[in-house]
Amino acid sequence: MQVFLSYAPEDKEFAHSLSKELTERGLRVWTPSTEILPGENPWLRVGKALESSHALVVLLSPESLRSELLQSELEYALGNTKFKERIFPVLVRPTKNVPWILQKFELYDAKQSADKIGASIAQKLKRVA
């Protein structure tokens, strides 16, 4: 199962740790920072990756919530039934602007280890697969 990992560059360190944990649990993780090469159309690559993904893990921080690309990724997942019960918001750093729609999802806190979050997400994905 492919998981799309959405985050701001400022959250790269935690994203890398979480990606590693999800991969170790048998999930394929697609991240824009490692998959999009210089000169490629990021919107096109992200669109194709979202089409082939089955879940979205979105890292929330003040920077990520200002990202137009991240907002588009989130809107795509929220509007697509294949992502039902497969959107996982993770609060990396405190922010006052968490979209109201994400309040209906379990919000993970990065104060927990990436290991615990990765284990929980992988377990939930196996149940809804």
pLDDT at 124: 93
Domain 2-128 in CATH 3.30.565.10? The answer is no
Alpha-carbon span 119 to 24, nearest angstrom? 10
Cβ atoms of 117 and 90 within 8 Å: the answer is yes
70 by Cβ neighbours in 10 Å (0-12 / 13-18 / 19+) ranks as buried
Q: What is the reported pLDDT for 45?
A: 86
pTM of the predicted model, to two decimals?
0.91
Alpha helices in 25-113 (DSSP H): 32-35, 42-52, 68-78
> Do residues 29 and 3 make contact, with C-beta atoms less than 8 angstroms apart?
yes
- The dihedral over CA atoms of 39, 14, 77, 66, expressed in degrees to the nearest 10, equals -70
Q: Which pLDDT tens digit goes with each residue over 70-95?
A: 889 999 999 999 999 999 999 999 98
